[in-house]
Amino acid sequence: MERFDGRRVLITGAGSGIGRATVHRVLSEGGQVVAADVNEAGLAETAKQASENGNADRLSTVVVNIADEASVQVGVAQAVETLGGLDALINAAGILRSAHTHEMPLEDFTRIITVNLTGTFLMIREALPALLESDKGVIVNFTSTSAFFAHPYMAAYAASKGGIMSMTHALAAEYSKQGLRVVAVAPGSISSDMTDGKGPGLPADADFTLFGKLIPGIGNGFASPDTVAGVVAMLASDDGAFITGTEIRIDGGTHY
C-alpha cells in the first residue's frame, strides 16, 4: 500500500521546481492531486509529465494566483470539489527577488511579502475548513534557510520566510486539538527555477565573498528539487504523524 493511497492533496507552485517535483512524488505514492500555479504553461507541462508517468488519472490542475484573494477562494473551492475533500495542503509557491536593500522599491518588497507570506496565509485560510474535516489533515509550508541565517541582498525574502515559519508554529498550536498538523520545510542550496540562472536577480555589483557560508557541506553543489519532495512527502504522510509545529532544514549541511 502506497503512503498516499486515498489521500487528497493540493499543491501550489506546481508548475515548476520543487512544487512540480512534489506533485510527481505524491502521485507516485498513490495520491490524488490538484496542482495549482499561476503559470498555466507550467501546469500543462506538469500534467504532461504525469501522463508520461502513467498518473494522469489522479491529477487535476487549477490556475491560481496566490497573491489574489478572489483567485485563491475560487481555486481552493474548485480543488476541494474536485478531490471530494482535502487531506493535505502543500504551500510550495513563492518568489525570490534580490537587491541592495537601500535600493529596493517598496513595490518590490510588498510584492515579495504578498506572494510568499500573504499568499500562504490565504491558501491556508481557505483550505482550513476542508482540512479540519479530514482525520489526517496536514499543512506543509515552505520557509527557507534565509529565515535562520544571513542571505545577503535578500532581506525581503528572508522577512517573508521568517513570517511563514512563525505562522507555522502559531497554527500548529491553534489547531492541535482538532487533529491538524502544521509543519514546514526550510530548503537551501536547491536547484530550481527560483535559484537557477537569473532567478535570484543578484545586483550586478554583488559581493560574492558574503556568500562564503552558503556552500553545502555535502555534495558537489545544489541538490535537485526531488531532494525536498521526498521530505515533504514524508511530512504529509503518516510517517510524519508525530511531527508538528516545527521545521526541517534541507540544505546539505550548508549551516552546520
Residues labelled catalytic: 157
C-alpha cell at 67: 497573491
Contacts of 198 (CB under 8 A, 6+ apart): none
CA-closest candidate to residue 74, choices 134, 32, 122: 122
Residue 162's H or E segment, with its range, is helix 155-174
Alpha-carbon 102 to chain mean position: 28
Cα distance between residue 16 and residue 9, in whole Å: 17
Contacts of 74 (CB under 8 A, 6+ apart): 64
Interatomic CA distance for residues 10 and 123, integer angstroms: 10
CB 141 within 8 A of CB 184: yes
- Rounded to whole angstroms, how far apart are CA atoms 85 and 165? 26
| 8 A C-beta contact, residue 195 and residue 188 | no
Phi-psi category of residue 41: left, alpha or beta, with phi > 0 → left and psi -120 to 50 → alpha: alpha
Backbone angles phi, psi at 4, to 5 degrees: -110, 15
